[in-house]
């Protein structure tokens, strides 16, 4: 396992971070992913870079009654001197902290995040959740680590080229039609909306030195459909859900998990509006039942509801929920671009 973790660290630094000799890199991590953070640290040195580890161990804060609400001004000066930031999921047992301490911890790290964005330091967000959170979502941590390694040890150039081809098809299109063998049949309008590509690399961020963050594992093309356009049915047997859309909004929720979804969106403005359509590009992702991971898998498409201004849409909401379709058929302006999960664009 250690050898494959080391290889994953090498791939992230070389092909996702695009690290160069002489550069400085800040690695932020939590107690649960310290081992992988150290692999990143060691491999950075091998690249000829100058890494710094910023460890945050919320486990030792259980008996602490005070925690700073804002990062000190010295942190801004420190961050401004880094070429790249790698931010691993840093919370391990934050929910067990006293309420005021927990609130200040969140505010402190929000402040750090805002500083990084304001200073336009290219940032790679590495999704390595804590074991407790994974177990709560029905996933064994060792299984996630295995799949994480597979998902980052991929050909990023190929993902980029494949994504560009799909984005080009969507760029001047007017309508998307999605269907599958479970009974999904959903029509969306996208005219005038611009697709985006998430290829898992900091290439564009580093070239333009603009406010930018990239998540990894990655790999998707996404677009925000016209908010009033969704018509039809989304059937998700693996989620225990069936959603009916009319005029862009959910008008019916059925299935064994329907009540859970109703509770999540009840009373939340804009939460019932279709927000996103996306296609997964990453051949190293094997669906685990975790939406933020599964939606990147090659052969999948996903639909989201709720907030979408960050995707180029117009709906503001406190909720953004994704739903993954396995092996769908997708047509753009009547022409298929995906058949049973297989991308068929030229």
pLDDT at residue 137 in the model: 86
Domain 2-152 fold: Thermophilic metalloprotease-like (3.40.1830)
* CB of 337 closer than 8 Å to CB of 166: yes
pLDDT at residue 212 in the model: 76
Q: What's the mean pLDDT in 49-67?
A: 90
Q: What's the mean pLDDT in 82-96?
A: 92
Which burial class, exposed, middle or buried, applies to 72 when counting CB atoms under 10 A from its CB (0-12, 13-18, 19+)? exposed
pLDDT at residue 149 in the model: 94
pLDDT at residue 225 in the model: 97
Per-residue model confidence as pLDDT tens digits over 134-188? 998 889 999 999 999 999 999 999 999 999 999 999 998 999 999 999 999 999 9
Residue 126 has pLDDT above 60, yes or no: yes
pLDDT at residue 285 in the model: 94
Rounded to 5, what percent of the chain is helix, strand, coil? 35, 30, 35
Look over the chain and give the mean of its residue pLDDT values, rounded to a whole number: 93
Backbone angles phi, psi at 230, to 5 degrees: -65, 125
Indicate the Cα dihedral angle 310, 303, 171, 300, nearest 10°. 120
- pLDDT bucket at 130, cuts 50 / 70 / 90: very high
Per-residue model confidence as pLDDT tens digits over 96-124? 888 899 999 999 999 999 999 999 999 99
Residue 61 has pLDDT above 90, yes or no: no
CA pair distance 26, 37, nearest whole angstrom: 10
pLDDT at residue 205 in the model: 82
pLDDT at residue 346 in the model: 64
* CB of 222 closer than 8 Å to CB of 199: no
Radius of gyration of the chain from Cα atoms?
A: 21
* CB of 246 closer than 8 Å to CB of 186: no
Q: Where are the domains of the chain?
A: 2-152, 156-199+217-343
Share of the chain above pLDDT 70, in %: 99
pLDDT at residue 291 in the model: 87
pLDDT at residue 211 in the model: 54
Please state whether beta strands 24-30 and 84-88 pair in parallel, antiparallel, or not at all (unpaired): parallel
pLDDT at residue 210 in the model: 57
Using N-to-C axis directions, what is the helix angle for 2-11 and 34-46, rounded to 10°? 60
pLDDT at residue 206 in the model: 80
pLDDT at residue 209 in the model: 60
* CB of 260 closer than 8 Å to CB of 246: no
Per-residue model confidence as pLDDT tens digits over 258-302? 999 999 999 999 999 999 999 999 999 999 988 889 999 999 999
Adjacent-strand bridge partners of 243: 234, 253
């Amino acid at each position: 396992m250690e050898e494959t973790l080391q290889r994953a660290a090498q791939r992230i630094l070389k092909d996702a971070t695009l690290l160069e000799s002489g550069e400085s890199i800040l690695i932020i991590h939590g107690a649960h992913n310290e081992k992988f953070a150290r692999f990143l640290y060691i491999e950075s040195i091998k690249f000829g870079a100058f890494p710094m580890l910023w460890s945050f161990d919320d486990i030792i804060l259980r008996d602490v009654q005070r925690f700073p609400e804002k990062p000190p001004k010295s942190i801004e000066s420190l961050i401004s001197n880094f070429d790249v930031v790698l931010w691993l999921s840093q919370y391990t047992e934050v929910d067990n902290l006293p309420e005021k301490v927990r609130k200040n911890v969140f505010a402190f790290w929000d402040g750090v995040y805002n500083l990084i964005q304001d200073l336009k330091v290219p940032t790679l967000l590495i999704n390595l959740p804590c074991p407790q959170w994974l177990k709560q979502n029905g996933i064994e941590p060792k299984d996630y680590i295995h799949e994480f390694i597979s998902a980052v040890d991929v050909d990023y150039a190929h993902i980029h080229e494949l994504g560009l081809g799909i984005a080009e098809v969507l760029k001047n299109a007017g309508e998307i039609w999605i269907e599958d063998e479970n009974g999904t049949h959903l029509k969306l309008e996208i005219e005038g909306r611009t697709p985006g590509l998430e290829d898992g690399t900091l290439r564009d961020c580093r070239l333009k030195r603009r406010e930018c963050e990239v998540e990894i594992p990655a790999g998707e093309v996404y677009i925000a459909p016209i908010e009033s356009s969704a018509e039809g049915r989304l059937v998700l047997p693996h989620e225990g859900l069936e959603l009916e859309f009319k005029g862009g909004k959910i008008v019916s929720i059925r299935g064994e998990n329907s009540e859970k979804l109703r509770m999540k969106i009840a009373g939340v403005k804009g939460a019932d509006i279709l927000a996103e359509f996306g296609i997964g590009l990453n051949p190293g992702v094997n669906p685990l039942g975790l939406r933020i991971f599964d939606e990147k898998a090659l052969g999948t498409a996903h639909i989201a509801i709720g907030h979408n201004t960050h995707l180029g849409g117009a709906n503001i909401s406190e909720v953004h929920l994704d739903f993954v379709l396995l092996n769908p058929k997708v047509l753009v302006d009547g022409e298929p671009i995906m058949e049973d999960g297989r991308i068929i664009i030229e």
